[in-house]
Structure 1
Amino acid sequence: MPWDFDYQENQETERLKQRLLKKYKGKKLEDIIEGKEFKTEKGICYHIENQEKISLNTINPDSARKKILSNLKLIYGIGDVTELNLKKEGYRTIEDLMNHPRFGSEVKRFLEVLNKCDTCQIVDWIAHRFSKSHSLVLYASGLHNKEDFIFLDIETMGLSEMPIILFGVAQIFGDHMSINQYFVRDVKEEQAALIGFLSHINKDSIFITFNGLSFDIPYVRKRLAYYGMKVDFEKPHLDLLYFSMRASWKERLSNCRLITLEKHLFDIERKDDVPSDLVPEFYDTYMRTQNIGPLIPIIEHNKQDLITLANIFSKLHKEWE
């Protein structure tokens, strides 16, 4: 019965919390999780940095461009049948249609967007013709360098207007992933953590999240507005939840939760994990007791989410290559 399962799960989570409180009683966060204070003019927070080896499958810019140009249906007025007929006539790519009497002007508009390599506009164009989770959107990310990818995951004190307590940001450099976590030891440190997160973003950044279209990005926007921080936050965004729902493995899964994908695709079984919906309770226990025990699984949960995000991103490229 579902109720029995929930009850059992809650009991196990409560036992985990009590074990952590006992194990870490009297300990300091910096003694258990190595990090340093991140200082800003708006205050401080706790900065944790880790490196993980990774082999990330991506598509190179030339291949990405070829994939995009090979789909004639990106041009308004071209559907499956028309595309088939055009290709029979020798129009193999969108560029071949530049002088076409009917589609030429629309093709020139599209090529202007593509040649600017403005991924936001390219993704918008693809989404207008197909959807934001179409494989061509994933290919469009290949127009970026790996260093531009911003894998993002946040942990909060609840829904809506509550503070963000942990920003997890991962970036790819060579054969490793640099994971930076900005942790809020007290809610007064949230603005400093926001500044820490923003320090990783530049004009070429592209966000990669899991359910970030609905949760992470809107939530960060609200917290920026709360502090009156005006930031250019209009970046290309790949929400891997929706890509995963289109992938072939979806048929073999009971749901598309991140932890379900992680177990099915990578055979990872988390130990002593705290579910995202119980993060506020664990953080509240820390605030009331000043015992760091309940924080440990929150930080580890966030780190593992980022690693799994990158692995799913890589897996999707193999799925659709």
Structure 2
Amino acid sequence: MYSREYKNELLLPKEVFDRYNMKEIAFFDIETTGFNKTSDIIMLISLGYYIDEKTFVTKQYYAEYIEDEEEIVKEFLEDLKEFNTWCTYNGIAFDEPYVIKKQQKYCIEGKIPEQHIDLYRLIKPYYTQFGMERCNLKTVEKYLGIERKDQIDGGLSAQLYKQYLYNNNEDIRDVIMLHNYEDVLNLPILFKLLYTIETDPKIKKEPKITPNQLKYIQVLSEKNNLNLKSDLKNITKKAAAKAIDSILKGNTDSANIDFIIKDTY
């Protein structure tokens, strides 16, 4: 395993930093050799966090060999244990289940953070109101004036990694690591856009759960002995409708209902 650590000055407006408790969040991103969580591997993980209001630390865990996957996941989870909230861009669908699958595969101890802030899902309902044509990470970064040094994407990372395994070229390794590093380094800046979404009255908001929906879910939860961890008062109307429909169809798995709520945006 090869590792690196960086410290950067990364200042956010105080109202943004305080509103989202930035010091309590672990920012992370993974690079993989493919989409199959069973046969493909995690080649690189980057973890970022604030140690004070202006200093952002980024740690990277790189698999120099395929066999290093277990070690980088273990080291990442060890450093993650101090956090109860993690943040990604589209990580609910990709990064989180990938990490959990590898944790299970290698029987690695460690608690996965209970709260997942997926900025992609929080920004996606509103990106067109800001004049953006797409909601991928680089488009949002460009809108916010973020300039990147790296010129590759996740697909090219996988191709480059195959070359690295063949020749152990450090320049190739550094290109892959730079891409993943900037993915994580830029995540906190996206909270400025989230702050605008939540506070600007000109932004048309996603309808919240109605009082009748909230009461109905509470009744159904009690009737079916559900122990939901979701903050029901703050979910969307669409998420509430999907949860109610699933319960009425016989779904009494609390974790699954929570996932349905989390997976709706």
Question: What residue identity is the alignment partner of 2:47?
Answer: V
CA shift, 1:251, in A, is 4.5
Query: 183, 203, 221: which is aligned to 2:62?
Result: 183
**Separation of aligned partners in 2, 1:202 and 1:289:** 35
Alignment map for 1:12-51 (pairs within 5 Å): 45-51=1-7
Q: Deviations over 1:54-103 (max 9, x none)?
A: 12346699x9xxxxxxxxxxxxxxxxxxxxxxxxxxxxxxxxxxxxxxxx
- Which structure 1 residue ranges, 5 or more long, are not aligned? 1-44, 64-138
2:24 counterpart residue number = 148
- Kindly indicate whether the alpha-carbon contact (under 8 Å) linking 2:89 and 2:118 is maintained by their aligned counterparts in 1: yes
2:50 counterpart residue number = 172
Query: 303, 312, 315: which is aligned to 2:181?
Result: 303
Cα 1:59–1:164 shift into 2, 3 Å: same
2:225 counterpart residue number = none
CA shift, 1:164, in A, is 0.6
- Number of residue pairs the alignment of both structures matches: 196
Does residue 1:245 correspond to 2:124, yes or no? yes
Q: TM-score, normalised by structure 1?
A: 0.56
Please, what is the CA RMSD of the aligned residues? Answer: 2.3
**Separation of aligned partners in 2, 1:169 and 1:299:** 12
Larger radius of gyration: 1
Larger RCO of the pair (alpha carbons < 8 Å, separation 6+): 1
**Separation of aligned partners in 2, 1:147 and 1:302:** 21
CA shift, 1:234, in A, is 4.7
SS where residue 186 of structure 2 aligns? helix
Q: Deviations over 1:103-160 (max 9, x none)?
A: xxxxxxxxxxxxxxxxxxxxxxxxxxxxxxxxxxxx6xx4xx4322000100011111
Cα 1:271–1:224 shift into 2, 3 Å: same
SS where residue 182 of structure 1 aligns? strand
Question: What residue identity is the alignment partner of 1:280?
Answer: A
Query: 22, 37, 54: which is aligned to 2:10?
Result: 54
SS where residue 293 of structure 1 aligns? helix
- Which structure 2 residue ranges, 5 or more long, are not aligned? 200-265
After TM superposition, the runs of 4+ consecutive aligned structure 1 residues lying more than 6 A away are none
**Separation of aligned partners in 1, 2:112 and 2:65:** 25
Query: 160, 185, 192: which is aligned to 1:314?
Result: 192
Question: What residue identity is the alignment partner of 1:48?
Answer: R
Does residue 1:157 correspond to 2:36, yes or no? no
- Kindly indicate whether the alpha-carbon contact (under 8 Å) linking 2:86 and 2:117 is maintained by their aligned counterparts in 1: yes
Question: What residue identity is the alignment partner of 2:169?
Answer: N
**Separation of aligned partners in 1, 2:172 and 2:63:** 14
Question: What residue identity is the alignment partner of 1:297?
Answer: V
1:288 counterpart residue number = 166
CA shift, 1:204, in A, is 4.5
**Separation of aligned partners in 2, 1:49 and 1:297:** 16
Cα 1:176–1:249 shift into 2, 3 Å: farther
- Kindly indicate whether the alpha-carbon contact (under 8 Å) linking 1:184 and 1:190 is maintained by their aligned counterparts in 2: yes
Does residue 1:261 correspond to 2:173, yes or no? no
Q: Deviations over 1:230-252 (max 9, x none)?
A: 43225100100011113356541
Question: What residue identity is the alignment partner of 2:8?
Answer: E
Question: What residue identity is the alignment partner of 2:160?
Answer: F
Query: 279, 295, 301: which is aligned to 2:157?
Result: 279
CA shift, 1:215, in A, is 0.2
Query: 88, 100, 123: which is aligned to 1:221?
Result: 100
2:260 counterpart residue number = none
- Kindly indicate whether the alpha-carbon contact (under 8 Å) linking 2:81 and 2:110 is maintained by their aligned counterparts in 1: no
